[in-house]
Structure 1
Amino acid sequence: MANNNRELGNFLRKARSQVDPEQAGLPPDSRTRRVPGLRREEVARLAGVSTDYYARLEQGRPIAPSPGVVDALCRALGLDEAGRTYLHTLLGVTAAPSRRHSRSAQRLRPGLHQLIDALDGEPVLVLGRRSDVLAANRMAKALFTDFDRMPVRHRNYARWMFLSEEPRSLFVDWEDQARAAVESLRLEVGGDADDQATNDLVAELRGKSTEFDH
């Protein structure tokens, strides 16, 4: 990459200016933002690189990032397919083909069902990826809801939180509980943006809940 690559610097600055910090999964920050979007150090943190490393990329320094680092930057900046291709081209890195997949089925280890059933004095929920409910003991079913009675694809804590009436009457701090469920999903998306089941869940919640993105 040539020195003083203004095109790359301009692209990175524009891309991070268009990212909403909250939607990127960053915690609330009381500091005043002088410009919209993410700060350099926030992009670096989301991409798993140092702030100095990212700053040098924006400055067009002669750096040759690995394909993995470039993919992490694409995810941190929320780039679409065209943006991903353009960034890879600017950096001279071959883009990996886009993947649409769902990971393997989630299963509990043998004996775990018996263990949570034995903890009868406290409600116990076992959550898997994207907050799927994998198991619940008797107390949890009585306090929350009987997830076993739902279709398998509906047994999800975030889905129940936003699309059912029960949580709103159950939790005095429903907004805080809902916000925590959203944060968990954001971490899932950040960890594997191509997981189809997670993306389908997020799309469903955005389509059916006016509160999910707020």
Structure 2
Amino acid sequence: MDRHAELGEFLRSRRARLRPEELGLPDYGSRRRVPGLRREELAQLAGVSAGYYTRLEQGQCRGASDAVLDAIARVLRLDDAERAHLYSLARPRPATRRRSPRPEQLRPAVRTMIESFGEVPALVLGRVVDILAWNPMAHALLAGHLDRDAPHRPADRPNFARMLFLDPHTRELYGDDWTRKARSTVADLRMIAGRHPDVPGLAALVGELTVASPEFARLWAAHTVGDCRTDSCVYHHPVVGAMELTVELMALPNDEGQRVAVFNAEPGSPSEAALRLLARLAGPRVEDPPPPGHPNRSDHSKHSDPSNRSDPSKHRDHSDHADH
């Protein structure tokens, strides 16, 4: 992605959201060609020449000092995430020799870690929010309609942003929280683009979603940035109903750009009970049928299609028989 173009678009979008009177500038009632601050006004408030700021916004001025960037961030009223994004765009990393992109790898120890979470949903997001691995509970929660083994095959790996904008199952799962989740996901991708503009797959993902989803295109054009670390959503699961879950995202220090997402319910809440019910309905894999006496065995024995045993979404008609 063109970092210089990104810097200019980001600065213009931040200027457009401010009105001169908010910053103590006189408003002479003149008609403005564009909304928000003019370049000359921003330069005046930041204490730099209009020519210098114009060159910076056009990507013709490199190596801006901390003092200049801090002054611009102050005038534009950038929050911490936006300030970090400005620095990422204005201070690009040295170019590295490009190699043929290889599928992103997941360390076996990380896979073992998320499997050990048991009835707590957990997954690993890659640098461009590909799902590199999920434990059975995360699969049952987010994507019971998809192949559980898909993350193991690089060509078939689900991508969270693609699921959110293009998969109707995921849209239904988030319900009324979908718009907020979509906004935060795009803001997260913007942050990734600033930090790792040359990461393989990012430009292709953004291009695909821009073409396929007008909602994504609109949010991407807004240049909103944000660092996703925690979130709380109501998930409308097709089998066990609504669950309010908190998601914690934790960066893996030894795996640049990879993050672990863990989903938890309030202890003792109806959401926790629904999550435990989902764990029972998710059951073991098809290769490992339930042992005699297992509470799910009688349910599964009624179906001639063995694929029903691994897909909790196919137990919709039997959820009334589960032990609440």
Structure with max Cα Rg = 2
Pairing of 1:40-59 with structure 2 (within 5 A): 57-58=52-53
Deviation per residue, 1:35-83 (Å, 9 max, x gap) = 646787xx99xxxxxx5578793399xxxx995559x98x859xxxxxx
1:109, distance to aligned residue in structure 2 (A): 2.2
Matched with 2:154 is 152
Change (3 A) 1:110 1:144: same
In the TM superposition, structure 1's runs of 4+ consecutive aligned residues that sit over 6 Å from their partners are: 37-40, 53-56, 99-102
Listed as ranges, the matches of 1:37-186 within 5 Å are: 57-58=52-53, 69=64, 76=89, 105-145=103-143, 146=146, 148-149=149-150, 152-153=154-155, 154-172=157-175, 173-186=177-190
Q: Which residue of 1 aligns with 2:207?
A: 203
CA shift, 1:152, in A, is 3.0
Structure having the higher strand fraction is 2
Q: 1:58 to 1:108 in 2, by over 3 A?
A: same
Q: Is the contact made by 2:162 and 2:209 (CA closer than 8 Å) also made in structure 1?
A: yes
Q: 2:191 aligns with which of 187, 203, 210?
A: 187
Contact 2:171 2:178 in 1 (8 A): yes
Q: Which letter does structure 1 place at the counterpart of 2:13?
A: D
Rounded to whole Å, the distance in 1 between the matches of 2:102 and 2:38 is 36
- Residue identity matched to 2:198: D
**Matched residue of 2:214: which SS?**
coil
> Cα–Cα, structure 1 residues 17 and 179, in superposed 2: closer, same or farther, change >3 Å?
closer
Kindly indicate whether the alpha-carbon contact (under 8 Å) linking 2:128 and 2:202 is maintained by their aligned counterparts in 1: yes
What is the Cα deviation at residue 128 of structure 1? 1.3
Distance 1:190 1:134, change over 3 A: same
Q: Over aligned residue pairs, what C-alpha RMSD do you find?
A: 4.4
Measure the CA separation in 1 of the matches of 2:49 and 2:100: 31
Distance change in 2, residues 1:109/1:165 (3 Å): same
Displacement after TM superposition at 1:178 (Å):
1.1
Paired residues in the alignment total: 162
Unaligned runs of 5+ in 1: 1-14, 45-50, 78-95
- In percent, how many aligned pairs have the same letter? 34
Q: Which has the higher contact order (CA 8 A, sep 6+)?
A: 1
Q: 1:33 to 1:212 in 2, by over 3 A?
A: farther
User: What are the equivalent positions in structure 2 for 1:11-26 lying under 5 Å apart?
Assistant: 19-21=12-14
Q: Deviations over 1:71-104 (max 9, x none)?
A: x98x859xxxxxxxxxxxxxxxxxx99x987765
- Cα distance in 1 for partners of 2:174, 2:11 equals 34
* In structure 1, C-alpha distance between the alignment counterparts of 2:10 and 2:183, rounded to whole Å: 24
Give the Cα separation in 1 of the matches to 2:165 and 2:149. 18
